Structures are given as C-alpha cells and as structure tokens.
C-alpha cells in the first residue's frame, strides 16, 4: 500500500480530509497529530518516515492563534517554521512529495488587487512571519508545494463561523470589523482540492519542486459581511454591528486586504472552486443538522 501522511490530523482541515477520502486500492492516508507524531522532533519524524515510507506528506499542522503568537513567538516559530524544515529534510532524504498549507497573513494587505503567488510577502504579525519562515524553508531547498489559504472554517474546532454561531445564540448584537477584506474558505472544499492534487502528482510521477499556489473559495467580503451572512443562514436574530479595526483591540495586526488570486491552481489542476456564500450555507446547514 502507498501511504500519504497527514500531519495536524485532528485539526479542521485534517478532519475534513478524513471525511473526503476516496476509495483506493493502493493508497492509504495516515492521520497524525502532536500526540502521536511530534513533527517538531526531527528524530521521531525520521523514525516514522523510515518505518512507514510515505510517498507524500500533507502538512496541516500549524500554530494558528494569531494574537497569542505575539506572546508565544518561540512556540509559533517552532511549529510553523522549524517543523516545516524538519519535513523538508525528511522529504528530500526519502524522496517524498510535500504539500504544506500556508496563509494569506504573509501579505501586508496593501494590494489593490487579489494577491498572486509571486507577489512580495510582507507579514504584519508574528503568526504571518512564522508562516513565511516555513515557506522560505521549502523554497530555499526547492522542495514541495505550498498552498496558501484564507479564513478557514468548518464544523470542527475553533473558527469564525462557530464563534459567530455561538455568540448569535447568546447575544442580541455583536460587533465585527468591516474594513478587513478577504475570502472565507470552507475546509471541506480545500480538502477536496488537496485530494485532487495528490492524485495529479501521483499520475505525473514527478516530484513537486518548490511551487506555490493560492486556494480559497471564490468571491470576497469583509468580516462584517461574513458575520451577517452567518446569522442569516442560521436564522439568528442577532444584530451585527460594523466597526473599524481601530475600535476592535487585537494584539496582532491583520492585513486590510488579503483576497487571493486562484487562477494558477485552477489551471494547473483543473479545479472548479465554489463561491463562499453557497459553501457557507451548506456548512451551516450541516452544523445545525448535527447540533
């Protein structure tokens, strides 16, 4: 059996990958998280790879607490940068494919158009800087595919959709910033794209060498517009009040605009990407059904 190792298997993207797996006679996905495989430990990672010999690694593991990262810089860099270096070294030594999930937060938000893969990064936060350091570890060694995504959500874990649903049931109103523009991304859609990419790499029987792609759902909105859509889709009467970022105190600075251009990934892998609104409505329907 050929093996695909998924790190960060207990996160929202890892769980969506588990649900989206196709039936295959010659491919098995192994899902691991820090409690069963600490990728920050190069010796443990090397032992695992030598024993199981995966042909591909999808790295969904990440430190994603954006504000907390300002105080826990060492932890953020250990997970988002050093662990990626460990994966790069293992991929090169054992001739494996490596697909790494990155973020729109590597950009400063000053662009007047959707960001392309070759635009110059300039992160504003420790989180963004640590994720960019992970990207650089791959690009310097010319190893693996980087997939940048944005505003990820799912029925699992901590994310904006679940937070808004919780607040919407508890409060009459909630304030949300209206001057940060991006694109919500349903983890289920990204998981389907990842499985498509793994299949394409296997068919070509070629190494994935130092390439970057953007993936999010189609369209764009502010966090305020996103929150309004969440309340409406869930049938909640909670009022959403738009406020500027200056009135919402956060430790980490966010990009004002971080919409991603998906042209490259759609053309390279033949992807059709859903718009964020129907993707959100479908996810909320699932959450309500299972509540």
> Are 241 and 175 spatial neighbours (Cβ–Cβ below 8 Å)?
yes
For residue 157, what pLDDT is reported?
87
- Give the closest residue to 55 by CA, choosing from 197, 198, 194, 192: 198
Cβ pair 172, 238 in contact under 8 A: yes
Question: Which of the residues 77, 115, 127, 224 is marked catalytic?
Answer: 127
Q: Is residue 127 among the annotated active site residues?
A: yes
pLDDT confidence of residue 208: 52
Residue 273, pLDDT score: 97
Choose among 228, 144, 148, 240: nearest CA to 185: 148
Per-residue pLDDT of the chain (291 residues; tens, 9 = 90+): 689 999 999 999 999 999 998 766 678 899 999 999 999 999 999 999 999 999 999 999 999 999 999 999 999 999 999 999 999 999 999 989 999 999 999 999 999 999 999 999 999 999 999 999 999 999 998 889 999 999 999 999 899 999 999 999 999 999 999 999 999 999 999 999 999 999 888 776 544 568 999 999 999 999 999 999 999 999 999 999 999 999 888 889 999 999 999 999 999 999 999 999 999 999 999 999 987
Domains in the chain, ordered, with CATH?
2-154+185-217+263-273 (3.40.50.720)
The whole-number pLDDT of residue 210 equals 80
Q: Is the dihedral of CA 80, 81, 86, 92 positive or negative?
A: positive
Report the b/e string of 246-257 with b at 16+ CB within 10 A. Answer: eeeeeebbbbbb
DSSP 22: P
What pLDDT score was predicted for residue 132?
98
Q: What is the pTM of this model?
A: 0.94
pLDDT value of position 25: 63
- Whole-number Å distance between alpha carbons of 199 and 145: 14
């Amino acid at each position: 059996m050929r093996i695909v190792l998924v790190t960060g298997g207990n996160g929202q993207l890892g769980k969506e990958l588990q649900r989206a797996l196709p039936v295959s006679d010659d491919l098995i996905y192994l899902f691991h998280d820090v409690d069963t495989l600490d990728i920050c430990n190069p010796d443990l990672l090397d032992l695992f790879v030598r024993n199981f010999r995966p042909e591909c690694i999808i790295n969904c593991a990440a430190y994603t607490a954006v504000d907390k990262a300002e105080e826990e810089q060492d932890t953020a860099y250990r997970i988002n940068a050093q662990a990626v270096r460990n994966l790069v070294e293992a991929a090169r030594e054992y001739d494996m494919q490596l697909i790494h999930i990155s973020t729109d937060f590597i950009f400063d938000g000053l662009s007047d158009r959707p960001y392309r893969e070759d635009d110059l990064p300039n992160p504003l936060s420790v989180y963004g800087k640590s994720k960019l350091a992970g990207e650089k570890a791959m690009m310097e060694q010319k190893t693996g595919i980087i997939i940048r995504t944005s505003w990820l959500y799912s029925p699992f874990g901590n994310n904006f959709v679940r937070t808004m649903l919780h607040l919407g049931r508890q409060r009459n109103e909630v304030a949300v910033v209206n001057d940060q523009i991006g694109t919500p991304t349903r983890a289920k859609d990204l998981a389907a794209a990842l499985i498509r990419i793994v299949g394409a790499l296997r068919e070509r029987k070629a190494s994935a060498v130092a390439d970057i792609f953007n993936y999010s759902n189609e369209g764009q909105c502010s966090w305020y517009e996103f929150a309004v859509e969440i309340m409406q889709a869930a049938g909640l009467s909670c009022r959403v009040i738009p406020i500027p970022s200056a009135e919402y105190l956060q430790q980490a600075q966010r990009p004002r605009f971080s919409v991603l251009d998906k042209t490259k990934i759609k053309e390279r892998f033949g992807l059709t990407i859903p718009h964020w609104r129907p993707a959100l409505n479908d996810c909320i329907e699932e959450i309500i059904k299972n509540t």
